[in-house]
Amino acid sequence: MKTFLQHPWRWGALALPLALAALTPVASQVPAKLPMVEKATHAAYTEKLDMDVSFEMLPIPGGAYLMGSPDSEKGHEADEGPQHPVEIKPFWMGKLEVTWDEYDLFWSKRPGGPPPRPDTSKKPDKLADALTSPTPPYADETFGHGRQDNPVLGITHHAAMEYCRWLSHKTGKVYRLPTEAEWEWACRAGTTTAFSFGDDAGKLPEYAWFADDSEDLAHKVGKKKASPWGLYDMHGNVAEWCIDHYGKDFYGKFPRDKVTLNPFNHPSENRYPYVARGGSWTDPPEKCRSAARRASDKDWLKRDPQRPQSIWWMTDADYVGFRVVRAVEEDPRLKGIRSYVTWWSD
C-alpha cells in the first residue's frame, strides 16, 4: 500500500488550502494542551524619561491560552465566558503600574490646555511637548492616596490613551494600553488558576492590595510579591485600563474550536463602557481574579460639577489606573487607534 507521501498528486490538491491557512491568523486548530508558552527571545529594558524618572519593561512571551474563566471558578461572572482559545504575540509590559512620577512629566510639569497641533517634522521630544496635556482637575487628583511611587488613579480612558501617545512621541517607541487578551495572558503567566499564584484566595494578601488589607488606600507600587513573570500589582492596588471597548457578550463571538489571534473590541467614539482589569484596593478577592472584568460607567464622574464633565479626570473612580505595553511586532489593527475624544476632535 502506498503512503500519503508516495502520492505526489495529493500535494497539489492541498497546496491552495495550506496556503490559505498560512495567511489566516484565526484558522489554527486548538492545541491539545493549553496554555502553551513560547520561549521569550526579547529582553527586559529600562526606559529613562529624565534624570530622575524611569520605568522597566519586562518581556512577555507569546503563546496560546484559554481566555476567560470556567463556570466552576469561584466568583465567575457571565461576561467571563465562554472560554475561548486565544493566541498572543510577544510583547513588553510595564513591570509596575504607571506612577505619578511618570505621569507628572506628561501633566503637571507641562503647560495645561490644548497647545498647537504637533509639527511632525520635529524630533520626538518636541512632538511630545506639543501634544495636549490634561487640564487642571476639580479636586486633588491623588485623592489623598499619595504621590511619589504611587500609581496614577482617577484618570479617564482618554487620559491613559493620550499618555501613551505622549510617551510614544517622547521615546520614539510605540507604547499603548494592552488589549484585554494581552492583559489576561500577562496576568495568568502560564497558569490556568483563578490567580497567577493558584486558586487559594487566602494567599492574596501576599500579592495584592485589596479590600481586606489596603486600609482604604492605594499603595506604592511593587511592594507585594511579583507574579511568575515578574509583574507587580496585577491583582489589586488599582484596576488597569485596557484598550478595549467593553462588551458583556464579546467572548461569545469567538470560536471555541479554533485559536483566535489577539482578539480585541475596537475603541469607538462612545465614551462608555471601556474595560478595566485586575481589581483594586476597594475590591474583594473574586474581583481581583485573572479573568475578572470591569466596565467603566458614567457614575465614575457623577460628582464632577463641571459642564461638560472632564475628559481627563474621574471624581468617583480613584481605584482605576493603568500600565503600558509595547509589541515586539505591532498588530496593524492596533496602529493609530484613537480615544473616544480624538475620534471627533482630530
pLDDT at 130 over 90: no
326 or 272, which is more confident = 326
pLDDT digits (tens, 9 = 90+) for 224-271: 999 999 999 999 999 999 999 999 999 999 999 999 999 999 887 777
Does the pLDDT of residue 16 top 80, yes or no? no
For the whole model, what pTM was predicted?
Answer: 0.85
- 152-189 as b/e: b if 16+ CB within 10 A: bbbbbbbbbbbbbbbbbbbbeebbbbbbbbbbbbbbbb
CB 150 within 8 A of CB 220: yes
> Minimal CA–CA distance to 260: which of 331, 192, 187?
331
Which of 83, 74, 65 has its CA nearest to residue 190?
A: 65
In the chain the domains, ranked by start, together with CATH numbers, are 40-345 (3.90.1580.10)
Question: SS3 of 230, please?
Answer: coil
The position carrying cell 519586562 is 58
Q: Is 26 exposed, middle or buried (0-12, 13-18, 19+ CB in 10 A)?
A: middle
Residues 289, 286: Cα–Cα separation, whole Å = 6
Q: Which amino acid is at 236?
A: G
Please, which pLDDT band fits residue 338 given cuts at 50, 70 and 90? confident
